[in-house]
Amino acid sequence: MLLVEYAGHEFSLNARQKDGATLRDHLESVYRQTQKMPKELEPKELPYAIEYLWEWFMELQRGRQYGMSGALPLSYSDIKAWAELTGKMPQCWEIDVIKQIDILYINESLKKT
């Protein structure tokens, strides 16, 4: 799904490198110095019809809990509480997509650079 690809791309660009800067920071520096757009910085298209799912994930992300080893996965309880508080009523397939994106986020956050 396009949203999962988009999310994976965003998460990899926002990954912290050994110097503490993100990959996006490094690539933007290359662009400023060379005026050549690195392929990795080329924006991925996010169709308008599914943009709301990315926004939902980002809302859920802001309430994410963290443990000793970093970010904890979004639980179904987290999603249910968010839905009740916001009045949004995600369908099963939308929750599946959010959980897929969350897995990508957790995996990216666990990577050692």
Sign of CA dihedral 90, 92, 94, 99: positive
pLDDT one-digit tens code per residue, 10-21: 999 998 898 999
- pLDDT for the residue 113: 47
pTM comes to 0.81
